[in-house]
Amino acid sequence: MSDLDELNRSPADRLRPRLLALTAAPDWADALLVRRPYPDLHALLATSDELVAGLSESQIDAALAGHPRIGERAAGLDADSAARSAREQSGMARADVSVQEAIAQGNADYEERFGRIYLVAAAGRSAEDLLGYLHERLGNDAGVELDVVRGELARITRLRLTELVGQTEARR
């Protein structure tokens, strides 16, 4: 997709699968489509943030189904989604074996504690940073952690929407 105008004009049935490839929460994708047109990137991202913040726990879990664990390859995703995930997690590619093993153990601990994968906006972060943040989050109670997951999902979705419309100004 080349620009915001195309997002605003594309038929919903063609655009919906592309949105779900970014964030696999049907309620988010449907509401984002219904609220078109967006006057600018800022309005699109603000709407997305609002929608992610309001997602139910089941919709959060649906969205997480489109994300591999930190440090793992994106098995089962289409080629574009797998490549995007690899770019976002590029800090893990440079991690030494001990950090990779610690992340794998942390992923397992997190899933046992919270019943879902450890989601983090990994773009631009080192493996050591991701591991430290994982350990911090293991101390959260379930309600706080669900809010943290929503925030991380919103950051990831922002980056992906910005990429989708071919603009670079939306980092937060």
Set out the domains of the chain in order of their start, with CATH numbers. Answer: 4-164 (1.10.3330.10)
Quick one: pLDDT at residue 2? 55
The single residue listed with the structure tokens 């994982």 is 134
Segment 26-40, tens digit of pLDDT: 999 999 999 999 999
Q: Taking residues 55-67, report their average pLDDT.
A: 92
What's the rounded Cα separation, in Å, for the pair 4 and 158?
14
Q: Which two tokens stand for residue 33?
A: 């489509």
Q: Cis peptide before 37, with omega less than 30 degrees from 0?
A: yes
Of residues 164 and 85, more confidently modeled: 164
134-170: pLDDT as tens digits? 999 999 999 999 999 999 999 999 999 999 998 544 4
Rounded to whole angstroms, the Cα distance separating 40 from 162 reads 11
Question: Any idea which residue has 């990779």 for tokens?
Answer: 100
H/E element, 66: none
Q: Per-residue DSSP letters for 94-160?
A: T--HHHHHHHHHHHHHHHHHHSS------TT--HHHHHHHHHHHTTS-HHHHHHHHHHHHHHHHHHH
pLDDT, position 170: 41
Reduced to 3 states, what is the DSSP secondary structure of residue 64? helix
% residues pLDDT > 90 (the chain):
70
Q: Are 140 and 148 in contact (CB under 8 A)?
A: yes
| pTM recorded for the entire structure | 0.86
